[in-house]
């Protein structure tokens, strides 16, 4: 399978990179990959590191290679809202706009592959396929954003938590969506971050998780590791 992607001439950097088949780099042939790789830099950032600052100019875009990046918006008085989560091999950046309107921060330790904004925008003109991939990625982000708007506006705290756990489970282990079987994973977010994502307070998040634990729907180990014991009952609580 995937014989359409020939690895001859592909930069070593890209050879085993997930962004090359599921991410935007899949739009490029080996020549173009090589050209892009010239100005490309792979690097790690540890949890908590700010990657893109609000209203600061953005000179580089990246692919997320591993870990989770959170996108947040902050009101003047400090209230915060997470408006998106990005998993590998998502593209991180807002093309055609030099100022960022949000903050991107490493939620877990992450690996990134970054390249200059200008390089990407130039390549998009030469290779429409690249712009196509980008469009598809942004359409997915839009779909997700709208799903969360429903959660934020209309779901109860209990439903928000259930939806959140399901969403994480599906992103960590795509098999979950197909089979109704259980799942286990590490939460990429702290309680405070979950609260910022769901428009709740830490206390409410904690109480709702305790509740699900009490009803034997999930188990929690070390605060971060979650095991879903009763997937269908959890899904029933998601509300939609």
Partner DNA sequence: CGTCACGTTGAACGGGATCAATCCCGGTGG
Partner DNA sequence: CCACCGGGATTGATCCCGTTCAACGTGACG
Residue 154 binds which entry of its own copies, DNA, none, CB below 5-8 Å type-dependent: its own copies
Residue 174 binds which entry of its own copies, DNA, none, CB below 5-8 Å type-dependent: none
Minimum distance between the CB of residue 135 and its own copies, rounded to whole angstroms?
A: 5
The piece of 3-11, 34-42, 103-111, 142-150 that touches its own copies (CB under 8 A) is: 142-150
Is there binding between residue 157 and its own copies (CB under 8 A)? no
Structural tokens at position 103:
């903050």
Task: Specify the residue for token string 């290679």.
Answer: 65
DSSP states of 134-179 = HHHHHHHHHHHHHHHHHHHHH--HHHHHHHHHHHHHHHH-THHHHS
Taking CB under 7 A as the criterion, which residues in 219-238 touch DNA?
220, 222-224
Residue 157 binds which entry of DNA, its own copies, none, CB below 5-8 Å type-dependent: DNA
Is there binding between residue 162 and DNA (CB under 7 A)? no
DSSP states of 193-240 = HHHHHHT--HHHHHHHHHHHHHTTSEEEETTTEEEES-HHHHHHHT--
Residue 83 binds which entry of DNA, its own copies, none, CB below 5-8 Å type-dependent: its own copies
Is there binding between residue 174 and its own copies (CB under 8 A)? no
- Closer of 17 and 162 to its own copies (Cβ): 162
Taking CB under 8 A as the criterion, which residues in 88-107 touch its own copies?
94-97, 101-102
Nearest to 234 by CA among 166, 151, 155, 150: 166
Please say whether the dihedral angle defined by the alpha carbons of residues 22, 28, 31 and 33, taken in this order, is positive or negative. negative
Is there binding between residue 155 and its own copies (CB under 8 A)? yes
The piece of 60-68, 121-129, 176-184, 216-224 that touches DNA (CB under 7 A) is: 216-224
Is there binding between residue 76 and DNA (CB under 7 A)? no
Task: Specify the residue for token string 């709740």.
Answer: 200
Using an 8 Å Cβ cutoff, are 227 and 218 in contact? yes
Binding residue for its own copies (CB under 8 A) from 22, 73, 207, 233? 73
Structural tokens at position 51:
């990657």
Minimum distance between the CB of residue 228 and its own copies, rounded to whole angstroms?
A: 21
Nearest to 9 by CA among 41, 25, 33, 40: 33
Minimum distance between the CB of residue 67 and DNA, rounded to whole angstroms?
A: 17
Minimum distance between the CB of residue 156 and DNA, rounded to whole angstroms?
A: 3
């Amino acid at each position: 399978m995937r014989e359409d992607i020939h690895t001859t001439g592909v930069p070593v950097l890209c050879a085993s990179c997930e962004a090359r088949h599921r991410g935007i780099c899949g739009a490029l042939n080996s020549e173009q990959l090589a050209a892009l790789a010239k100005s490309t830099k792979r690097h790690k950032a540890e949890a908590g590191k700010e990657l893109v600052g609000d209203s600061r100019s953005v000179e580089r875009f990246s692919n997320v290679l591993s870990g989770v990046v959170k996108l947040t918006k902050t009101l003047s008085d400090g209230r915060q809202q997470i408006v998106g989560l990005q998993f590998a091999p998502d593209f991180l950046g807002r093309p055609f706009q030099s100022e960022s309107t949000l903050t991107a921060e490493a939620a877990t330790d992450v690996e990134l592959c970054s390249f200059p904004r200008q390089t990407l925008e130039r390549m998009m003109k030469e290779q429409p396929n690249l712009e196509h991939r980008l469009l598809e990625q942004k359409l997915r982000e839009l779909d997700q954003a709208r799903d969360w708007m429903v959660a934020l506006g209309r779901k109860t705290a209990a439903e928000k938590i259930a939806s959140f756990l399901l969403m994480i489970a599906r992103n960590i282990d795509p098999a979950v969506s197909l089979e109704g079987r259980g799942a286990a994973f590490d939460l990429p977010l702290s309680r405070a971050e979950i609260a910022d994502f769901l428009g709740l307070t830490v206390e409410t998040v904690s109480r709702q998780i305790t509740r699900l634990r009490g009803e034997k729907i999930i188990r929690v180990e070390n605060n971060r590791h979650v095991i879903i014991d009763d997937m269908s009952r959890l899904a029933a609580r998601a509300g939609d």
